[in-house]
């Protein structure tokens, strides 16, 4: 089966774009995770369409990887195929008040592009480590801003390999969700609609936001950002702190002392350590306050 799979993939992708047993700790912000059976670096829509149609027709498990900033991969790895967009998907350019972004472009890079073109509305995204594609799926946000507020349209690849364009209303953006979740759509591009502002004001806001990040978030450690969604009527970090879990650790994983909403890798954590801390936090907060904390972090592989 591997020979057939490899031969088919080699007909679509350059050989150097097909990686076998690729260690996932190199591709996630937690810096943990075992090897993926294959990682495919896909450079354009034609390649993506062919690969996805083939993998679905042959029932191969695959996962679309963005920047790995919201992902925890098992220490055992992933016995499937990782698709990582690259090439033209990493492009971004500006036309007037719009920024056109490939799904693999970094959200923070789009924010810098906005600053360089005196466009306001994207300051909140300057420190978010994810990709544009991932941001569309989960309506990424911070500091009272969300990508759903500035997204004009999103281009996706459908299950049938067809390219569709979804407008903002069709995207159904909500708190850490969008219509993309729960569908077979794959984000390929997005268009942000901003407005002109004063360069110095935009930069000052970005500098202020990034200073707050450094002050309040444990950016010096590998993590996946906020580990849990904000429960309605509460703040996850405060619930965790009030449950006495500040600094709680298992192995190399720890609830951050700086911000209890972050589970961090102190430098030698395994994926199992991180997962166990997450589960313990959920259990203890539920026991103490009756509140169920929902993970923002996606699990990949067997735990």
The residues carrying an active-site annotation are 176, 226, 296
> Nearest 5°: CA angle at 61, between 4 and 72?
130
> Which uninterrupted H or E stretch holds 163?
strand 163-167
How far apart, in whole angstroms, are the C-alpha atoms of residue 7 and residue 225? 38
Q: Read off the tokens for 232.
A: 């309605």
Tell the burial category of 161 from Cβ atoms under 10 Å away from its Cβ (0-12, 13-18, 19+).
Answer: middle
Between the CA of residue 111 and those of 35, 88, 122, 149, 298, what are the distances in Å?
Answer: 32, 19, 6, 14, 25
How far apart, in whole angstroms, are the C-alpha atoms of residue 209 and residue 189? 26
Q: Are 68 and 32 in contact (CB under 8 A)?
A: no
How far apart, in whole angstroms, are the C-alpha atoms of residue 153 and residue 186? 14
| Strand order from edge to edge, sheet including 151-157 | 92-95, 98-102, 186-193, 151-157, 163-167
Query: How many other CB atoms are there within 10 angstroms of residue 102's CB atom?
Result: 25
Helix (H, G, I), strand (E, B) or coil at 189: strand
């Amino acid at each position: 089966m591997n020979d057939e799979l490899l031969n088919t993939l080699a007909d679509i992708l350059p050989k150097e774009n097909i990686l076998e047993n690729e260690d996932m700790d190199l591709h996630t912000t937690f810096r943990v995770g075992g090897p993926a059976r294959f990682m495919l670096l896909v450079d354009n829509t034609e390649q993506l369409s062919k690969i996805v149609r083939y993998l679905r027709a042959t029932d191969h498990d695959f996962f679309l990887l963005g920047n790995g900033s919201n992902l925890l991969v098992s220490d055992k790895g992933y016995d499937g195929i990782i698709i990582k967009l690259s090439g033209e998907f990493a492009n971004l350019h500006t036309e007037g008040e719009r920024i056109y972004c490939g799904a693999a472009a970094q959200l923070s890079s789009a924010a810098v592009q906005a600053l360089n073109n005196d466009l306001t509305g994207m300051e909140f995204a300057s420190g978010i480590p994810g990709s544009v594609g991932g941001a569309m799926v989960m309506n990424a946000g911070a500091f009272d801003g969300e990508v759903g507020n500035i997204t004009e349209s999103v281009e996706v690849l459908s299950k049938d390999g067809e390219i569709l364009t979804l407008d903002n209303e069709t995207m159904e953006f909500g708190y850490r969700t969008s219509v993309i979740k729960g569908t077979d759509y794959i984000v390929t591009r997005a268009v942000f609609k901003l407005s002109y502002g004063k360069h110095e004001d935009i930069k000052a806001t970005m500098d202020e936001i990034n200073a707050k990040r450094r002050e309040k978030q444990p950016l010096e450690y590998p993590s996946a950002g906020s580990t849990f969604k904000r429960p309605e009527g509460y703040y996850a970090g405060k619930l965790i702190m009030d449950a006495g879990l500040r600094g709680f650790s298992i192995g190399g994983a720890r609830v951050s002392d700086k911000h209890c909403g972050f589970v961090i890798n102190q430098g030698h954590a395994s994926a199992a350590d991180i997962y166990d801390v997450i589960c313990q936090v959920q259990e203890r907060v539920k026991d103490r306050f009756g509140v169920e904390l929902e993970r923002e972090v996606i699990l990949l592989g067997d735990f």
